[in-house]
Amino acid sequence: MPPKALKHKQKGLVLLISLIVLVVMTLAAIALVRSMMTSNQVANNLALRQGTTAAADAALEKARFWLVDRSLQAPAELNNASNANGYSPTNAINPINGNAWRANVNWVWANPNAGNAPLPQAKANEALNENGYRAAYFIQRSCATAGQKTPNRSACDLQKMSPNEPEGNSEYQMIYKITVRIEGPKNTVSFYQSTLY
């Protein structure tokens, strides 16, 4: 008789151990799923950042191309505003207002196709590139007022090209600031700024 009683006691112990193993396996599965979700989010964030950076680089390059072209071909045009090209001869206002466009700033969309002609605000849909990003830029000259500027009494921030040269022998370059606003997937908005001289 005693072996039968022992047999009945063991049935409950196996069930208890099975339940404990099942709980441990469930917790391990939940931890694995959460880990995979976190890894996917990190990878997605990295992809968004790289896409945003690539779109910003393209927009900065298009703005820089226009600026260099004008400074070589028609430098007098840089003395006055060019709304169609997103250019201001003054830096009186900051074009960024939180995550929004600041009013009265003539942003232009960087054309994602070949060529450097910018697109006006009304053509935002044409500015979307193949990866789902669109970039707008605004160029500012670092001067308090418009008009022609010379190194002396210019009311501009200038970059001294040879820091160790005496003042009479030094050359100065005008400083320009390009601000880029990127709109990406999932309603992301990013701003980049670059200074050129």
97 contacts 89 by C-beta, under 8 angstroms: no
pLDDT tens digits along 139-190: 998 888 887 766 555 677 777 666 666 666 667 778 889 999 998 888 888 8
State pTM to two decimals: 0.73
Of 52, 128, 116, whose CA–CA distance to 86 is shortest?
A: 116
Quote the pLDDT of residue 117.
Answer: 81
pLDDT tens digits along 71-123: 889 888 888 888 888 898 888 677 877 767 777 788 889 888 877 788 887 78
* CA diameter of the chain: 115
* All residues at 6 or more sequence positions from 38 whose CB lies less than 8 Å from its CB, including other chains: none
140 contacts 184 by C-beta, under 8 angstroms: no
β-pair partners for 119? 109
Cα–Cα dist 138/105, whole Å? 8
Quote the pLDDT of residue 75.
Answer: 86
52 contacts 129 by C-beta, under 8 angstroms: no
Quote the pLDDT of residue 137.
Answer: 92
Sign of torsion over alpha carbons 105, 123, 190, 129: negative
Per the document, the length of the chain is 197
Domains of the chain, by residue range, sit at 57-196
Residue with tokens 């820089």: 64
pLDDT tens digits along 26-81: 999 998 888 888 877 877 777 778 888 888 898 999 999 999 999 889 888 888 88
Quote the pLDDT of residue 7.
Answer: 56
